[in-house]
Amino acid sequence: MGLVLGIESSCDETAAAVVRDGREVLSSIVASQAALHAPFRGVVPEIASRSHLREIVPTIEAALEQARVSPRELTGVAATSQPGLVGSLLVGASAAKAFAWLHELPIVAVDHIAAHLYAALMEGAPTQLPALALVASGGHTALYYYKNPLEFEMLGCTNDDAAGEAFDKVAAILGLGYPGGPAIERVAFGVDPKPAAIAVPRVSSGPFDFSFSGLKTAVRYRVLPPGAKEKRHLTESEIATLAAGFQHAAVEHMALITMAAARARGARTILVGGGVACNDLLRKRLASACAPDGLDLRIPRPALCSDNAAMVAGLGAAMLDAGRRDDLGFPIYPSGVPQVHSSSPAPAEVRRP
Ligand code: KG4
Ligand code: ZN
């Protein structure tokens, strides 16, 4: 597989990494823009692309330097091409193309969601596939039947907000700052969620679909009851209880649907990825659900769950190994296009319309 340089810039993290043989992370540099977006309580696309422009070259240089790898030792370049913010994606993909052209390296365009899933395969002993795979991030929440890194099929997804988006919005409602996931986890730690009485969502659109916007509304109504003109003043302990109630309901929702899908598809392995997979309650809840039946639960270390380029380099290595190549004109797809279907005749369908 060799040494692959991965580049990720789909949202608000400028990242570059060098990975050996699709698994061994030699370097993983992430320049976070969280502080730039925090005053706005969410990502501002224009600020994101300008920051990527400033950071991309130093980030790539730092990744090569930390890995002690020179461009001529690389075997390929992988860059996120979808989904994500248009300006953000353009910066990383363009830098990757320039780098590949300059050093005459093969390049592959990588799907960000597929990379989050691949991250779960980068640690530990090889596991049994097919697996059931959950991605829970700031932009996406979906379940997949995962045959291998290049072939998987979506079983269900969120009808409204992504899980991470709900964490971020609830944190904003509770005045806990951005990004919301870690803030909610921090204040909810050790707090009993029951007094908040926030119900676990039920979804009728499909057995493996999710919905998080009702949870956000439930929290908002506690702060600003329907018809009320002014927000209630919440004590610290009321905020902590609401945060714990929300977190518990969101985690239960993801765990129940993931386990139901694993049973329905007879999967013995569960892969979890995306920033929300950093959440300790989710990790513990899934671990205790998997233990009785001996299911192999793979949740990567937090640095591989939130946005990073090691997962992009890892999946890129698997794609290059399978013979995939993109030309230097490959487009970016901000909304994403379905990457791989189990019915596709050959894995070389990276050439998109
Ligand atoms: O995968 P990611 O880094 O970026 C996207 O692809 O969106 O996910 C970011 C999301 C944010 O919404 C953030 O609040 C959430 O992951 N997140 C968490 C935790 N850490 C990050 N959510 C819950 N608990 C956490 N500990
Ligand atoms: Zn992500």
Q: Does residue 182 have its Cβ closer than 6 Å to ligand 1? A: yes
Q: Could you list the residue range(s) of the whole structural domain that residue 270 is in?
A: 129-299
Which pLDDT belongs to residue 352?
38
Q: What is the CATH number of the domain that holds 26?
A: 3.30.420.40
Residue bearing the CA closest to ligand 1, atom 3: 306
Query: Domain check: are 60 and 105 in the same one?
Result: yes
Q: What is the mean pLDDT of residues 33-37?
A: 90
Residues 85, 43 contacting (CB under 8 angstroms): yes
Q: Same domain, yes or no, for 133 and 278?
A: yes
Q: Is residue 323 part of a domain?
A: yes
Q: Are residues 319 and 201 in the same domain?
A: no
For residue 139 and ligand 1, the question of a CB distance below 6 A is answered with: yes
Centroid of ligand 1 to alpha carbon of 235 (angstroms): 26
pLDDT classification of 265: cutoffs 50, 70, 90 = very high
Q: Would you say residue 112 lies in a domain?
A: yes
Average pLDDT, the chain: 94
C-alpha–C-alpha distance, residues 232 and 305, integer Å: 36
Atom of ligand 1 nearest to the CA of 306: 3
| Residue recorded with tokens 């049973």 | 263
Q: Looking at the structure, tell me whether residues 55 and 134 fall in a common domain.
A: no
Q: CA 5, CA 269: separation in Å to the nearest integer?
A: 28
Quote the DSSP letter at residue 65: H
* Ligand 1 proximity of 179 Cβ (cutoff 6 Å): yes
DSSP 8-class letter at 228: -
Average pLDDT over residues 77-105: 97
Q: Cis omega (within 30 of 0) on the bond before 179? A: yes
What beta strand segments (E) does the chain contain?
Answer: 3-8, 13-20, 24-32, 76-82, 107-111, 131-136, 141-148, 151-157, 269-273, 296-298
Judged against a pLDDT cut of 90, whether residue 42 lies above it is answered with no
Same domain, 143 and 159: yes
Q: How far apart are CA 270 and CA 133, in angstroms?
A: 6
| Domain-embedded: residue 124 | no
* CA atoms of 353 and 344, how far apart (whole Å): 15
pLDDT at 47 over 70: yes
Q: Which atom of ligand 1 is nearest to the CA of 278?
A: 26
The pLDDT score that the predictor gives to residue 337 is 83
Asked whether residue 123 is domain-assigned, the answer is: no
Q: Is the CB of 6 under 6 A from ligand 1?
A: no
* Whether the CB of 8 sits within 6 Å of ligand 1: no
Mean pLDDT of 230-236: 92
From 258, 273, 299, give the residue that closes a domain. Answer: 299
Instruction: State the pLDDT at residue 344.
Output: 37
3-state SS class at 76: strand
Probe residue for ligand 1, chosen from 118, 278, 301 as the CB with the greatest number of ligand atoms within 8 Å: 278
pLDDT band (50, 70, 90) for residue 267: very high
